[in-house]
Amino acid sequence: MCCRNGTLVALALFLILFCDSTSSECTQLGPCVCRLPDNSYYNLTSLADKKEPLIADKDDLTVYFHPCKDISIPISGNLNNPCFNGSGVSLCMLEKAKKIINLGTINDTHMKLSNGNNKFPVFEIHHDNMTSIINIVCVINSDVHFMIDQVFPDTKTYHFMLVSPYGCKKEPQRGLSTGSVLVILFFTFAGIYLIGGAVVLKTLRGATGWEMLPNHDFWCELPLLVRDGIVFTFNCCRANSYERI
């Protein structure tokens, strides 16, 4: 019995941890797009249209970042530039000693949510033995800013901040509700029924006025039928004395 209870407790803990982790996942759909389980999403694709990279300076470092797309980044005074040759890069760093380091491309970039309780989107870039983490900060009605946050040379880990209105979470576009669709269909078929029926009766029978209404007799008698149905219901489904005779 104890073993069984222990197994159930372990299973419950596993499900709680699993559900908590999956509910906070952001599924990457593109280089700068990821979607949450509730269909809300982050989309920074508009930053790919920038012709020039974002530049951040701190101490002896200059970092160039072009989100969402690789570009060739020319850096003057250095012919052997790994960030300019080839198909380009997304993140590049220039050290004081004029050493240029390729920190990663779009293929090295993974967009996900940060760790901890306060979830926000991040770009995590792994290239060779270096790791770059770019925290995406949502600021509405702001220009795009790129900043160096922390640098850990010993572990070759670099932290940056990208401030942009494109970093704000977007809600999914809501379609028509089931009720709205049914109302639209009702009025559509009602219009076809009334207009089409009137045209047919006018053309084939030469009907005029109320006679152009399809099933004219039924619609004229409908109020009386509704009245009789209500009376019959309130009489507990019993016919009146005249009908019983």
- Using alpha carbons, select from 162, 170, 164, 113 the residue that is nearest to residue 138: 164
Tokens of 162: 């990208």
77 and 37 share a domain? yes
The average confidence (pLDDT) of the chain is 81
DSSP assignment of 116-148, as one string?
SSS--EEEEEEETTEEEEEEEEE-TT---EEEE
**Last residue within a domain, chosen from 154, 170, 186:** 170
Half-sphere exposure for 13 (CA within 13 Å, toward CB): 6
116 and 186 share a domain? no
92 and 161 share a domain? yes
Confidence at 77, pLDDT banded by 50, 70, 90: low
186 or 77: which carries more pLDDT confidence? Answer: 186
Confidence at 1, pLDDT banded by 50, 70, 90: very low
Tokens of 46: 């508009």
64 and 159 share a domain? yes
User: For position 12, what pLDDT does the model report?
Assistant: 35
* Residue with token string 């020039």: 52
**Of 28-42, 144-158, 166-180, 231-245, minimum mean pLDDT range:** 231-245
**Of 20-34, 174-188, 189-203, minimum mean pLDDT range:** 20-34
Instruction: Put the strands of the sheet holding 41-43 in their side by side order.
Output: 27-30, 33-35, 41-43
What's the rounded Cα separation, in Å, for the pair 71 and 14?
A: 44
**Tally of domains in the chain:** 2
User: For position 168, what pLDDT does the model report?
Assistant: 92
Look up the CATH number of the domain holding residue 116. 2.70.130.10
pLDDT at 21 over 70: no
81 and 192 share a domain? no
112 and 60 share a domain? yes
133 and 182 share a domain? no
Is the separation of the CB atoms in 133 and 150 below 8 Å? Answer: no
- Using alpha carbons, select from 91, 82, 165 the residue that is nearest to residue 124: 91
Chain centroid to Cα 144, Å, comes to: 22
Domain enclosing residue 223, as ranges: 178-235
- Strand ranges, E, within the chain: 27-30, 33-35, 41-43, 54-58, 61-65, 91-94, 100-104, 109-113, 121-127, 130-138, 145-152, 157-164
